Every structure is written in C-alpha cells, then in structure tokens.
Structure 1
Amino acid sequence: MDFFAVVGVLLVMILSIYWVFKTLERKQQGFGPSSLKAFGVALFLPSLVLLALLTDFKTETLAALLGTVAGYVLSNSDDKSAK
C-alpha cells in the first residue's frame, strides 16, 4: 500500500509540474511570482497527502500545514515596492 501511495504522489507531482510548464509555454510567459506559487503548490500538496498517508501526524498538524498552503496560495503577490 505504501509503495502505491508513493508512486501515485510522485506521478501527481510530475504531471502537475508538466502541466504548469505547458501552461506557461502556451501563454508564452516566463517565471514570476504566480508561476513559482503554482510550482510550490504542485510540489507541496502531494507531499502533504503523502505525509498524511505514511506518518502518524495528528490531525491538527496536518490542518496547520494545509492552512499554510492555503495562506500561501491566497496571499497577494503584487510588488508593493514598485508603487
């Protein structure tokens, strides 16, 4: 069971990173704050699922990690120093 969970999470990570690259290529955009945020989410959320499946973390710990991801995704990425 653990082997399939690890393989599945790695497959999700690889596919999501590929999807982000293809989206950036299709839109002809370079790397910026939003694309780095997408890469972070593509790597962190499957890792969080893997931690939930394979470790004995308490529910509160996993909820705190998920809240960190939500805050990161919903944060404003505008550069306020340019104004």
Structure 2
Amino acid sequence: MATIATNQKTSRLDIRLTDEQRKIIERAAALKGSTLTQWTAQHLLDAARADIEQETTLRLESQAFDDFLAALEEPIPDSTAELMTRDPEWA
C-alpha cells in the first residue's frame, strides 16, 4: 500500500482582533476565494518571510559591492596575518 504524504496542521495560533479588523480580513479572504484561515496563514507567512529576508540579507549598491570585492582581493595586512596566528584568549 502506498503512503501518502500529508501536511498535517497541528499547531494553532489565536489572535485578538477588533470586529472591524476581522470584517476587513474576512472580506479580503472572500474576494480571493479563500477561507479565513487560508488567507490569514498565507499572508502571515509572506510577511514573515519578507521580514526575515529584510533582517538577514545585506544589500549593497553596485559601487559599494565592487569596492567590497576589490577589498577582498587586497592582501591581508601583516598585522592582521599575525593576529590570525595567535590562539584566541577565550579558547
């Protein structure tokens, strides 16, 4: 017998809303043909992913990126190379 993979939803999230907030969200869900749960979950996930990307991604303008790449190509200064040979004090 073949096993069918399921995406069981076992976690619950409860939020408090004003009546007006709920009506707006319900209307948006209905306009998209989604249930309130589907619409809310999708939009929360989209917002969470956007926030995570914004907080964990470094973006540079073209010139700043070119400058960064050029700096990586420069030789390490002698003082930095010497520091890299030392055992860290916290080890």
Output the TM-score relative to the length of structure 1: 0.29
Q: Which has the larger radius of gyration?
A: 2
Q: TM-score, normalised by structure 2?
A: 0.27
